[in-house]
Chain A
Amino acid sequence: MTAGDPLHVRVRDIVELAPSLKRFSFEPAHGGLFPTPPAGGHVMLTLRDGARVMKNAYSLVSAPMERARYDIIVRLVAQSRGGSAFLHRKVMPGDVLEMASPVSLFPLAATARKHLLIGGGIGITPMLSFLPELKARGARFELHQLAGGEEAAVFERLLAPYAAGEEIRVHGGGRAAFDLAGLLSRQPLGTHVYVCGPHTLMDAVTGTATALGWPRGKIHKESFGGAGGGLPFRAILKRSGIEVEVGETQSLLEAIEAAGVDAPCLCRGGACGECMTPVIEGEVDHRDDFLSAEEKAGGRLVMTCVSRARGPRLVLDL
């Protein structure tokens, strides 16, 4: 699945929200308006750092009804694979970037009677897109944002425009002080929960909600990648007849793309399943949220956007 031709976007302005958080605002490079994005949608930016090409997905934080600009918030990650460092250090106002049209793997459920939003750290980003949409729909919702100490004030400011008369809380005291089980056990029938944040938080929400009797269909999560790097390895693309070296800070998908192979992908965060590729030989270090535990144990499939080889080589049917 592709989302049509890429958009060319110009950086309007860059605002430093905190030492490691910057908000980038983009406008159409050739004038006009952007397509209406879905609430909770993300865009994929193509970042060209010299010869290196990175494609990173970022949630839109601007309101879904806003078409004059698209905003994203990027955290500078210490072990960045390059994307966030490039955006933070090299991209300047006026620069033109390539962006794939927004898609959403994190939609709001139309039948929900209440929406419970839980964000962890930079997982606040899709929530910022949900809030104006929920307000516009007049929907019932509640938001809990977890924040590391000094970021609580930043998140309070970002949420302030929506806070009047709503159940919006920023928890600066860390996970231990956040009563997740209490929160999930008092939700009325028909509530859907949406969580975006570190894997530990998403697993805790999924596990606690399931134990309290929430059905799978009412638990929604958005992974923001965090693929991380790993040891370098060699990938052999049997059908294409080529071999690629996957570097420490490179994903398997990026290495395949760098070799000129048009591999399928969509979310680049191990969530959507689009890049699923059959494995002919070699052991996989699975890092995605798409494959079931059985499929991962089976070792016949790999999600190229986040997963790697657990060894020196991987032979793919690609």
Chain B
Amino acid sequence: MRTLYQFHGGIHPPTNKTQSNATPIAGAALPSRLVIPLHQHVGNSARPVVEAGQHVLKGQVIGMAEGHLSSAVHASTSGTIAAIDEQLVAHPSGIPDLCITLIPDGQDEWIARESCEDWTTLSHSELRHKLRAAGVVGLGGAVFPSDMKLYSHKQKIKTLVLNGAECEPYITCDDLLMRERAADILQGAEMMRALLYAEEVLIGIEDNKPEAIAAMRAAVAAGGHQKMDVIAVPTIYPGGGAKQLIRVLTGIEVAAGVRSTNMGVQCFNVGTAYSAWRAIRFGEPLISRIVTITGNVAHPQNFEALIGTPMNELVAQSEQLAGTTNYIMGGPMMGVPMPSKEVGVIKATNCIIASSDAIFPKALTALPCIRCTRCADVCPSELQPQELYWFSKAKNLDKAEDYHLFDCIECGACSYVCPSNIPLVQYYRFAKSEIWARDAGKKAADAARERHEFRESRIEREKREKAEKLAAKEKAAQEAKAVQPAIAPVKPDADPENTLQLKIQTAIDHAKEQAAAIKPKNTEQLTPEQQAQIDDIEARRARIRELAKDATPT
């Protein structure tokens, strides 16, 4: 038996999973249209490479990965591009984003796919390139481009953690995927292990999913996978958060702002492993995913839904009931309300809950905080949520940062247990955005000040140079006058041209001295190699920043 570790706190909300996990994954009907956002992943938005009116095939690239951190977007079925414009997307802000609208032609005709019998024949960079081109991103919710998480070198990463915990109530998409497609998930895991040079693969599944655990264990045995363990972990929210699962399985605590790979662990969602495998083995880009439809519907279940499927068309297949107010994407703890019921399913859509007043009653009026610290008792990041609340409420942002506001993973456990019904997480989101805004403002002000100072110094320098040039000229002229008679006896045939040359030479020397006096900045006059190095460092930094964000519980 493997020793499991614990993380602090956690809660046991009603799981509400049995409604949707009793029926197998169903294929979803072809929708009337697909609205596919070009920005479904962390990083740069994909660049549209099709035109309105163009006919596309299923799996054809419609948005090209742009820049270092980005991912491709594909046509989920064959059909005609109706529009490329801004539409509402599956984001709570309700801010429209660039989308490609595709009207299916009903043929569902695939583009030529490049399958690969044996991925071990491919180089690591080829594999990563293929994953990027296939639009494979983290399906646990963070949607971070997977190729960027599969860089490593030997002896760096010991453990690959596969996250099948699925701790959020209501969601069962990973559960069903593991039950039905365990072998494919494990193939994907093998590939990831090779890319990361990881020794062992630990697959964490919460013990409220015995069928999935059994299916995965059977697949490990059947596939002859070595050093691959399917581990039942205790059901406790947010045990499926990457940091929490890594802690439970390995005992390692990955602090905020630290990459788990620096501590020898990398973590992927089981769905991501599955999609990565389909992409390499069968050349299928990420154009569909398993989505749990649950809540106020007659038949909650999981669908394999095309990316871009309007949510209401998908929910209709589970028979939406009267009283549905709106849709929540994700679970009840960390899910986000949708700005409209028609927004398209995206790669991050693991679950759609049709919400009603009965399922999620309106929040009660909050009482003042009575410092009972039930929030601190359940906080998996071991923060003092009550302190963060006071600081956030008072806009005491520095203090909030001192008390580790940015270690908060917004799991909502504190709000869940608060007897005063204070929407704590909302306060933390507010404080974080205030700090970001403040820092951005500070940056802009700094940049403006630098620009201003640079301009001032340039004007100053130019003035000085002019004056010095003038002085040099006069001095040279005077020297020439003074020198001439003295030299005259020695060099009677002194050419007036000599004086002129002397003047010019003096001026040039002065200018050189001037130039030397103004020290160049260390970022100027770089060799191309240096510039490349800097670019590389910047790219890595961007990746680290994104990875730090990539730790949201599933």
Partners in one complex: no
Residues of B within 8 A of A (CB): none
